[in-house]
Amino acid sequence: MRKKFCKIFLLIFAVTASGCTILGTKKNSLHESTKFVKTGIIVDAERIKKGGNLLIIPFKAGENVELNDQIDKAALRIVKGISESLIDGDSNFKILLAHNADEADIIIKGFITEFGTVPKWKKWGPFKKKISLRIEGKMIDLKSQNTVCVFQDSRTTSKKEDDHNSLGLTIGRNIGQFILSDDK
């Protein structure tokens, strides 16, 4: 039964990751929400309602993304955004820090899959200076090792006052709101 569930989940995740829509799913079992994130599926809404000790692991640089200090800072802003949304949204989650990480019941982890910066030659011209940030991640129940939800989000901006940190904070808040969207 577990192998069958894993195969079905991987198929659903692959279809969602490729940008296609999911057809023919039961309304009660899986639900795709794009109100807050680009794509997302809440697999186990009951587990989200239950809450518990939540550890948010800073997102790592994904494949084809060069690791640097800016990525680390953006990853921490994503964590901050998720935490703020869950705390402000009166969730049943207790956000854990590094010193009590071993008490976690549930974790959120993910990858930064795109970290778009302005090419050096565009900084000197009258060109639009767009930056972008794209992530993908999931929430996992540690006791059962089941995936609770998966999500992908991205943001692009050409505003001078915005940087990757502000994009990370916005994405984090969107993830938190997505998690709570099925909690009410």
pLDDT in tens, 112-135: 999 887 555 555 555 667 888 999
What is the C-alpha separation between 181 and 69, in angstroms, rounded?
A: 32
**3 state SS of 150:** strand
* Domains defined along the chain, listed by start: 2-181 (3.40.50)
Mean pLDDT per 10-residue interval, the chain, length 184 residues = 58 54 38 71 92 95 88 94 92 91 95 79 61 93 94 87 88 92 60
Q: Smallest Cα–Cα separation from 116: which of 101, 124, 128? A: 128
Full-model pTM: 0.75
Residue whose entry in the numeric block shows the structure tokens 């940030």? 133
Q: How far apart are CA 4 and CA 1, in angstroms?
A: 5
pLDDT of residue 17: 54
In angstroms, the CA 30 to CA 44 distance is 8
Tokens of 133: 């940030």
